[in-house]
Chains A and B, each alone.
Chain A
Amino acid sequence: MSYVDAGYIVAIGGSFLYGLSLFLRRRRWERALRVLESSPEERPAVAEHP
């Protein structure tokens, strides 16, 4: 693989992976919020930083 190809893959792939991580993190936080907003029966302790 040439340096050029590596450069393209790093830049675009890196942005993509970061975007993916943001997507996954958002889902986890939304889930945490839903758990907390639902009625008081449940409440397993929600971790600070999922």
Chain B
Amino acid sequence: MTDVSTSNGVAIRTPWRPRWLAVVGIAAVVTTALTVWLGLWVTPPDEVQGNLARLLYIHPAVATVALYWAGGVALLGSLLYLWPRTRAFFWDRLAASAVEVGAVFSALTLVTGSLWGRPVWGVWWTWDARLTSTALLLLLELGYLALRRVPADPQIRARRCAVAAILIAIDVPIVHFSVDWWNTLHQSGTILDPGFNLHVHGSMLWTMLLSFVAFTLIFVWLLAMRYRIEVLQDAVGDQELEVSLSERWNEDAELVGVGGSGGAVDGDEVRGP
């Protein structure tokens, strides 16, 4: 099953279906189940936070996926698309898929962070650097996705979105620094991370590492699934174009056959299917 590479004019027959996708999916399920079992039952509660510390096996992994894996792939894809030597729609589609998956995970990061923060600090939300920049990242990702939905020529859209992704990647660290500065001038500068004061050792450490593996596998699987949809969408777009062109061609042909007036409708380039 080969990937489809070009976008304009080449009709896609077989949807992209890599064999490793199922394997990754199964591995994701297994590692996640293992993480849950270890996290909820096997590992001991923390001395200070008690059972709340079990969110250590969820929140940091989700946050890492959102910020580093998804963001990294989106940035890399965008850069590689813009660089003429490596330009291919594969990178554009990969980047767009990464942004959408990243947006989902950013939202999950915020929710799990709140659920952890609420019992620890007593509030659902604080304006600390980590949370705030994740919130802003989510908004920026939504902006990117809105931009992507604007109908446009695939190359123009790809270029536009690639630039947008790079700007987002530049912006988030800046926001993070600013908010950190903003906060430290106000408070004593403690990092408001519910997991910060946890002493992670022994089985806790291994489970946490396993959780990273599990969520990374989940990310890869979701990314591949989303990429497949991106390919299909472009294929449908191309097919629609071909269909409308061929219909127009047939109309013109009929007109030519009947009246001999040429049948050209103004503004048309007469191109055959």
Contacts and interface: CB of A to CB of B under 8 A. Distances in A.
A and B touch in the complex (CB under 8 A): yes
Interface of A: 2-4, 6-8, 10-12, 14-15, 18-19, 22-23, 25-26, 29-30, 32-33, 36-37, 40, 43, 46, 48-49
Interface string B105-129: 0011001100110110000000000
Closest 5 CB pairs of A and B: A29-B232, A36-B239, A22-B225, A7-B115, A11-B58
B222 A11 contact: no
17 contacts: A3-B52, A3-B116, A7-B55, A7-B115, A12-B32, A14-B107, A15-B104, A15-B108, A15-B222, A18-B104, A22-B226, A26-B232, A30-B232, A33-B232, A36-B236, A37-B239, A40-B243
B167 interface: no
Nearest to B51: A4
Given A15-B222, A22-B226, A22-B229, A7 B59 contact: yes
Instruction: Name which of B11, B62, B226, B232 has the most chain A CB atoms within 10 A of its CB.
Output: B232
Chain A residues touching B, majority SS:
helix
Contacts of A6: 115
Nearest to B246: A40
Contacts of B215: 11, 15
A4 B240 CA distance: 48
Given A4-B52, A19-B221, A22-B229, A29 B236 contact: yes
Contacts of A46: 236, 240
Interface range, B side: 35 or more
Contacts of A29: 229, 232-233, 236
Nearest to A17: B104
Chain B residues touching A, majority SS:
helix
Nearest to B232: A29
B116 A33 contact: no
Contact of A23 (B104, B225, B239): B225
Contacts of B166: none
B115 A3 contact: yes
A26 B225 contact: yes
Contacts of B39: 8
B222 A18 contact: yes
Contacts of B240: 36, 46
Contacts of B94: none
A2 B108 contact: no
